[in-house]
A and B are shown apart, each in its own frame.
Chain A
């Protein structure tokens, strides 16, 4: 592979890894925030336990979202300095907003939420998880603004060989953004909901003792996943109005993933909306549905990757649509040796960590809501309340 292909592979590998974790973060954040809200309002131990259990899965998943995101941010300068040189005046603005404001606040509030159990007043502690959710969605929004600019360089003019920002509003109302952002949010909710439902189905299938806990979680998961499927499907079709002309013509690399995503996505949404959702009341007791739900759980992750392949491979050979090619965006002087070494380093380390992280999440799911680290009561402080569901 030449240096361009290597650098593209590096971005594709780290970007895909990043989104596998981000898509679950986007789905689980509002779910955990809702559970926490019900716990604070009602004071019920059941909702407290749900917040801690699903919250722990949420934060363990979050760890890989952070470390893969770091590599993404720095990769722009390492491999694609031609982009910042040519379009940094435009592309840099949403990226700066994401890192400087949205993620800065998200990380700060997440630290307060994770370590604030038993220290913060309960309403302020609850506010933290909602602020984390809000800033996570703001982060996703600004990243989509930046990506949509690459798809359709709105709001900018070419001056002295560089793109300059003339209309920030046009960046925010980009035709490749307005339907794609809710589509991504729908995908997140679909993923988070199905993880909730799939993990609960696994516990119920094993005849867990915490049946009320997982009955509720399963129903909530199917409900959230249905909302997500509806949004992802609806805005998925709506965004075709904004797709660049000829994007998928003659691009097998983009058209094939797109086709698979649509076919599998429709089937998944059909099963969810027309079979599982109407049966939601009986799902916890009908054991055959548990197998179906468990089999469905990995599907939205694969769909998310297919969706990004369609969007990003479809952009080729352009970095900025019809303005700058990826070849011209490559950092001058970059050698295959440099990219190969860093590719092995990043893909190797992040890949291994991703496997470890999924094993840890699977272990939390298998053990169920016992001995959770998140919100654990300090040893000897007070006896843990009896958790009877």
Chain B
């Protein structure tokens, strides 16, 4: 049972990197590829239908952490206190940018929230690199350790590349590239590599700190039957918003 829940947790966390990675990447690329308002609208519209289905993977990760690894939950989040607060604020500003940018028409209004999307995406991408390093060292090293900073740069670059691949898949040619679905899967896997590495290393430790059997049994009975529905809902999103003629209608809600 511990192994099943470890795999569930690992899939959720790696899935978050592979999926939300391209949303953050598109956010990072907004100031680079989106020099004009029309371009930024297209970039945001391209990722918009996926964001809600992607970011929620991290909400599920945190919930699983609480349910399956209750004694690690506090240790992990408290061990990363300043980083978690900064990343949460980044996440909030990124989301607010998406929800608010098109609610008013002014150029300055939209420009401000576009900047918040880019800024929030940067904070999250960079923060993830530092968080992975801190987790790998058992929360003993300083969050601004050079290796952590380097890892932050790496995750940021990986997400940006993943975001570019996504745009080239969903809107072929619009931003200078054409990529297949297979290329998108590969860039997703590459984006998730750092966290997969960490999960493999932390596996024995996580298995040891699983919740008691009674809790895992209840969670298994209650939650696992929904796994196919959750997967089905995600697949539905990807089928509905696959590329094609008129795939990215403007105006989009975000």
Show the binding face of A for B, using Cβ within 8 Å.
Answer: 59-60, 63, 66-67, 70-71, 73-74, 76-78, 80-82, 84-85, 88-93, 95-101, 103-105, 107-112, 114-116, 118-120, 164-166, 168, 331, 333-334, 338, 341-342, 345-346, 349-350, 353, 356, 360, 363, 373-374, 376, 378-379, 381
Interface of B, secondary structure class, is: helix
Which of A71, A92, A111, A346 is B67 in contact with, Cβ under 8 Å?
A92
Are A81 and B64 in contact, CB atoms less than 8 angstroms apart? no
Show the binding face of B for A, using Cβ within 8 Å.
Answer: 48-53, 55-57, 59-60, 62-68, 70-71, 73-78, 81-82, 84-85, 88-89, 91-93, 95-96, 99-100, 102-104, 211-212, 214-215, 218-219, 222-223, 226, 229-230, 233-234, 236-237, 240-241, 246, 249-253
List chain B residues, Cβ under 8 A from A78: 77-78, 81, 84-85
Are B214 and A108 in contact, CB atoms less than 8 angstroms apart? no
Are B48 and A379 in contact, CB atoms less than 8 angstroms apart? no
Smallest CB gap from B70: residue in A: A88
The 10 closest A-B pairs by CB, nearest first: A81-B74, A88-B70, A99-B63, A96-B67, A77-B77, A111-B52, A63-B99, A115-B49, A378-B249, A107-B56
Are B215 and A67 in contact, CB atoms less than 8 angstroms apart? no
A269 to chain B, nearest CB (A): 34
Question: In the complex, A331→B63 CA distance in Å?
Answer: 18
B127 to chain A, nearest CB (A): 13
**Given the known A-B contacts A95-B67, A116-B240, are A164 and B218 also in contact in the complex, defined by CB atoms under 8 Å?**
no
Question: In the complex, A306→B188 CA distance in Å?
Answer: 46
Question: In the complex, A272→B89 CA distance in Å?
Answer: 41
**Given the known A-B contacts A73-B63, A96-B63, A115-B253, are A84 and B92 also in contact in the complex, defined by CB atoms under 8 Å?**
no
Interface of A, secondary structure class, is: helix
Which of A120, A168, A342 is B240 in contact with, Cβ under 8 Å?
A120
B3 to chain A, nearest CB (A): 17
Are B59 and A70 in contact, CB atoms less than 8 angstroms apart? yes
8 residue pairs of the A-B complex, CB under 8 angstroms, read A74-B62, A92-B215, A96-B219, A99-B62, A103-B59, A107-B56, A165-B212, A346-B89
**Given the known A-B contacts A71-B88, A88-B211, A353-B92, are A333 and B78 also in contact in the complex, defined by CB atoms under 8 Å?**
yes
Which of A74, A88, A120, A360 is B84 in contact with, Cβ under 8 Å?
A74
B102 to chain A, nearest CB (A): 6
Among B50, B59, B95, B252, the one with the most A-chain Cβ atoms within 10 Å of its Cβ is B59
Are A84 and B53 in contact, CB atoms less than 8 angstroms apart? no
A4 to chain B, nearest CB (A): 15
Sample of 18 further A-B pairs with CB below 8 A, known A63-B100, A100-B67, A115-B49: A77-B65, A81-B74, A84-B71, A88-B73, A89-B214, A96-B67, A100-B63, A101-B222, A101-B230, A108-B53, A112-B237, A168-B222, A331-B74, A331-B78, A341-B85, A349-B92, A373-B102, A379-B250
Are B218 and A165 in contact, CB atoms less than 8 angstroms apart? yes
List chain A residues, Cβ under 8 A from B226: 101, 105
List chain B residues, Cβ under 8 A from A334: 78
B206 to chain A, nearest CB (A): 15
Question: In the complex, A97→B218 CA distance in Å?
Answer: 10
Among B76, B103, B234, the one with the most A-chain Cβ atoms within 10 Å of its Cβ is B103
List chain B residues, Cβ under 8 A from A116: 49, 240
Among A101, A333, A376, the one with the most B-chain Cβ atoms within 10 Å of its Cβ is A101
A353 to chain B, nearest CB (A): 5
**Given the known A-B contacts A60-B99, A70-B59, A88-B211, are A111 and B50 also in contact in the complex, defined by CB atoms under 8 Å?**
yes
